[in-house]
């Protein structure tokens, strides 16, 4: 990074939350629907790299990246410049009315970098959920089948179809039904909680048996899976699981859809998490880190599948907005120029080492897992595998009070996850992990 506007260090000048954040939070309670909640009420004024400055002048370490979005860092110079310039040229035409080069260039970039060297096409949307919805539309159209197979602990979004695809009741689904039909849930490979020693191939056979028995091959349009589950708890399937499921799909005319909305764009140390085992999906959904903080999502797929959909069957008013598109091109160029995939691997090694040291001192850390800069610990009651969501809540709050933004996740709410910007400086990561270690020590 060139000389930063904002010093890349943690600096706390008030109690957290400070007085101005508290004022804003009072206004918020009167104005904002409480269904939309925040992890901790620190109101942000500006940011750069891995530091956010709140309205009271506190410099916070961001180990969440706005849920894996600002992988290139806050206010990444190339992204800022591209967005400012594009906003001054034109901010919208609707690609379905008057097209523009920026949309085409993002599709070219996606087709070039997503797994597989076959011919591909892409379509752009606004949010991850919208991309998932469209991937399912395409799969149903192409196969003439309706069944969508998803996994336990899956998260695919909050719209009606994607709520149906998402596994967890609270807070995502409770009293929001009825849900879209023809969705079938099967077992995920979850090494920490599966029978001891279960291999990826055995976990895949378990899932396939459930699909064949509950859905039937003739009715299955697609299998939709996060190659590493995000909201469900950073669950990394056992080696061999994804290749075996993908192979079964290929043999049975079922489309294999990888939801790489959280794992994509260098987060796991590869461009995409599927790259790790050389899995090539038929369709892939992307969003989050693609556009450096601007809203943009995509479906990329085999040309013959994408070309099957009738003209006019896909789209939307804002999908592939030009300002978001130039942000994506700048983010992708930054990832390439700075080799952020390699940076993610290094960050993962540092976090893994620190987590292992914390685990040696704290029996409440049941499992450590993740890949690259997507790392988590699963918290349990010592001596058991019983989930401890209260510990996760306390640790996340203690980190925030000390100026370090962390997140929890997991079907049981007991997983503490880190998703730092991939440009984070080593000293800053070290300081953030020190705060986390203190919060964990305070647990016992
Ligand atoms: C975040 C996420 C989504 C939903 O994306 P939105 O942009 O919030 O609609 C879907 N799938 C996965 C794996 C995600 O992490």
Q: In what order do the strands lie in the sheet with 59-62?
A: 44-48, 51-54, 59-62, 404-405
Q: Which residue has the tokens 């916070």?
A: 60
Statement to judge: residues 54 and 101 lie in one domain: no
Same domain? 197 vs 251: yes
**Does residue 425 form part of some domain?**
yes
Q: So what's the pLDDT on residue 4? A: 80
Helices (H) and strands (E) in the chain, counts: 13, 15
Q: Is 371 in the pocket of ligand 1 (CB under 6 A)?
A: no
Decide if 74 is inside a domain: no
Distance between Cα 262 and ligand 1 center (Å): 7
156 alpha carbon – ligand 1 mean position (Å): 5
Please tell me the distance between residue 419's alpha carbon and the centre of ligand 1 in angstroms.
Answer: 15
CA of 366 relative to ligand 1 center, distance in Å:
26
State whether 136 and 220 are in the same domain.
yes
Indicate whether 45 and 128 sit together in one domain. no
Q: For ligand 1, pick from 68, 156, 171, 410 the residue to mutate: most ligand atoms within 8 Å of CB.
A: 156
CA of 172 to the centre of ligand 1 (A): 12
- Whole-number pLDDT of residue 147: 98
Residue nearest atom 5 of ligand 1, based on CA coordinates? 128
Q: What is the pLDDT at residue 239?
A: 98
In order along its 444 residues, the chain shows pLDDT tens digits of 567 899 999 999 999 999 999 999 999 999 999 999 999 999 999 999 999 999 999 999 999 999 999 999 999 999 999 999 999 999 999 999 999 999 999 999 999 999 999 999 999 999 999 999 999 999 999 999 999 999 999 999 999 999 999 999 999 999 999 999 999 999 999 999 999 999 999 999 999 999 999 999 999 999 999 999 999 999 999 999 999 999 999 999 999 999 999 999 999 999 999 999 999 999 999 999 999 999 999 999 999 999 999 999 999 999 999 999 999 999 999 999 999 999 999 999 999 999 999 999 999 999 999 999 999 999 999 999 999 999 999 999 999 999 999 999 999 999 999 999 999 999 999 999 999 999 999 986
Q: Does any domain span residue 68?
A: no
Select from 314, 338, 362 the last residue of a domain: 338
Boundary of a domain, candidates 338, 365, 383: 338
Q: What domain range includes position 358?
A: 19-62+340-441
Q: Which of 426, 305, 408 is nearest to 50 (CA)?
A: 426
> Please, which residues bridge with residue 371 across strands?
374
Structural domain contains residue 5: no
Is the CB of 270 inside a 6 Å radius of any atom of ligand 1?
no
Q: Among 68, 163, 230, 299, name the best residue to mutate to test ligand 1's pocket (greatest count of ligand atoms within 8 A of Cβ).
A: 230
Domain termination residue (choose one: 338, 368, 388): 338
The verdict on the CB of residue 157 being under 6 Å from ligand 1 is: yes
161 close to ligand 1 (CB < 6 Angstrom): no
- For the segment 84-125, what is each residue's pLDDT rounded down to a tens digit? 999 999 999 999 999 999 999 999 999 999 999 999 999 999
Q: Are residues 325 and 252 in the same domain?
A: yes
Distance of alpha carbon 240 from alpha carbon 223, whole angstroms: 16
Give the integer Cα–Cα distance in Å for 426 and 50: 11
Is the same domain home to 344 and 325?
A: no
Determine the distance separating the centroid of ligand 1 and the alpha carbon of 56, expressed in angstroms: 31
Residues 361 and 295 in one domain: no
Ligand 1 proximity of 261 Cβ (cutoff 6 Å)? yes
Identify whether the C-beta of residue 317 lies closer than 8 Å to the C-beta of residue 59.
no
Q: Confirm or reject: Cβ of 21 under 6 Å from ligand 1.
A: no
CATH number of the domain within which 209 lies: 3.40.640.10
185 falls within a domain: yes
pLDDT of residue 215: 98
What is the structure's pLDDT at 2?
A: 64
Cα 138 from Cα 221, distance rounded (Å)? 9
- For residues 36 and 133, membership in a common domain is answered with no
| 225 plus 167 within the same structural domain | yes
Q: Is the CB of 286 under 6 A from ligand 1?
A: no
132 Cβ inside 6 Å of ligand 1: yes
Nearest-atom number in ligand 1 for the CA of 130 is: 9
The CATH number for 432's domain is 3.90.1150.10
Cα 339 to ligand 1 centre (Å): 24
13 CA distance to ligand 1 centroid (A)? 35
Summarised one tens digit per residue, pLDDT across range 237-256 is 999 999 999 999 999 999 99
Whether 6 maps to a domain, the answer reads: no
Ligand 1 pocket, 53 CB below 6 A?
A: no
DSSP string, 185-246: EE----TTTSSTT--HHHHHHHHHHHHHHHT-GGGEEEEEE-SS-STTT---PPTTHHHHHH
Ligand 1 atom showing the smallest separation from residue 127 Cα:
7
Our answer on whether the CB atom of 260 is closer than 6 Å to any ligand 1 atom is no
Ligand 1 pocket, 246 CB below 6 A? Answer: no
Q: Determine, yes or no, domain membership for 430.
A: yes
What is the count of structural domains for the chain?
A: 2
Q: Determine if ligand 1 sits within 6 Å of the CB of residue 127.
A: yes
Tokens of 156: 């695919």
């Amino acid at each position: 990074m060139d000389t930063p506007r904002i010093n890349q260090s943690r600096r706390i000048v008030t109690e957290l939350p400070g007085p101005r954040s508290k004022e804003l939070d009072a206004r918020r309670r009167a104005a904002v629907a409480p269904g939309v909640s925040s992890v901790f009420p620190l109101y942000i004024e500006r940011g750069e790299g891995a530091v956010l400055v709140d309205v009271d002048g506190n410099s916070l370490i961001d180990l969440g990246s706005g849920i894996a979005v600002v992988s290139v860092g806050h206010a990444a110079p190339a992204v800022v410049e591209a967005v400012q310039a594009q906003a001054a040229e034109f901010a919208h035409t609707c690609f379905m009315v008057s097209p523009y080069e920026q949309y085409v260039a993002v599709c070219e970039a996606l087709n070039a970098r997503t797994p597989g060297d076959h011919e591909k096409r892409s379509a752009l949307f606004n949010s991850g959920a919208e991309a998932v919805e469209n991937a399912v539309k395409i799969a149903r159209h192409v196969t003439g089948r309706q069944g969508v197979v998803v996994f336990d602990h899956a998260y695919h979004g909050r719209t009606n179809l994607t709520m149906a695809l998402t596994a967890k009741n609270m807070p995502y689904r409770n009293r929001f039904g009825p849900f879209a039909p023809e969705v079938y849930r099967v077992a995920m490979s979850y090494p920490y909680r599966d029978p001891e020693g279960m291999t990826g191939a055995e976990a895949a056979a378990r899932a396939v048996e459930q699909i064949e028995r509950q859905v039937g091959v003739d009715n299955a349009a697609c299998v939709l899976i996060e190659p590493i589950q995000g909201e469900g708890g950073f669950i990394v399937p056992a080696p061999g699981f994804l290749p075996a499921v993908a192979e079964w799909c290929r043999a049975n005319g079922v489309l294999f859809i990888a939801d790489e909305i959280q794992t994509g764009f260098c987060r796991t140390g590869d461009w995409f998490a599927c790259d790790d085992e050389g899995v090539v999906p038929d369709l892939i959904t992307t969003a989050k880190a693609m556009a450096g903080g601007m809203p943009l999502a995509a479906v990329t797929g085999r040309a013959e599948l994408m070309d099957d959909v009738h003209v006019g069957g896909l789209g939307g008013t804002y999908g592939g907005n030009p300002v978001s598109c130039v942000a994506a091109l700048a983010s992708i160029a930054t990832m390439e120029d700075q080799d952020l995939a390699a940076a993610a691997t290094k960050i993962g090694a540092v976090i893994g080492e620190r987590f292992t040291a914390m685990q040696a001192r704290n029996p409440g850390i049941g499992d450590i897992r993740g890949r690259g800069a997507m790392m988590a610990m699963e918290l349990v009651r010592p001596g058991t595998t019983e989930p401890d969501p209260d510990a996760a809540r306390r640790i996340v709050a203690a980190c925030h009070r000390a100026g370090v933004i962390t997140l929890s996740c997991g079907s049981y709410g007991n997983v503490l996850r880190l998703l730092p910007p991939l440009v984070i400086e080593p000293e800053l990561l070290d300081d953030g992990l020190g705060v986390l270690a203190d919060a964990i020590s305070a647990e016992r």
